[in-house]
Amino acid sequence: MRGVLMVYGMSFLAGLVLAALGFTPQSEPGVYPLLALLVGAIAVAVALHVTATTRLSSLIAMGVGIWLLSVTSVLVGAQSLAGWFGSSLSIAATMLLGRLLLGVTLDDSPAQSSYATLVRSMTPTRRKV
């Protein structure tokens, strides 16, 4: 649940910043969806990093949670019910892209850089600090 709230909150704040800068779906119909996807993916990557999990089940649960939380846009009249159902594809793409920002695999451990394997393979020194 923490990850869902983090992603939703960061995306909401980024939307406000984009609107303040003059980027709206009406003024920039070609650029705005890409910016929204990028901002959402970064928010997903941050949430996955903070929650220290990259499991597929966690990613799916976070995506479903975001999708269900976004029903508030239907309740306030900002989106139609059909549009909300259609948003599942963009939420899935955002979740996948956000996960790919952390690395390619969907294993249980958080994504690590290629240097982590090298460091673990090095023999420890006997120096006492």
| 89-107 pLDDT per residue, tens | 889 999 999 888 887 655 5
Place 128 in a pLDDT band, splitting at 50, 70 and 90.
low
Which residue intervals of 24-113 are DSSP H helices? 32-51, 56-69, 72-75, 81-102
d(CA 111, CA 102): 6
Q: Determine how many CB atoms are found less than 10 A away from the CB of residue 37.
A: 15
Closest CA to 94 of 2, 7, 1: 7
| 53-79 pLDDT per residue, tens | 777 888 889 989 988 888 888 888 888
pTM metric for this prediction: 0.71
Residues 6+ apart with CB under 8 A from 110: 48, 49, 52, 53, 54, 102
Provide the token pair at 124: 């420890």
| Cα–Cα–Cα angle for 81, 98, 40, rounded to 5 degrees | 45
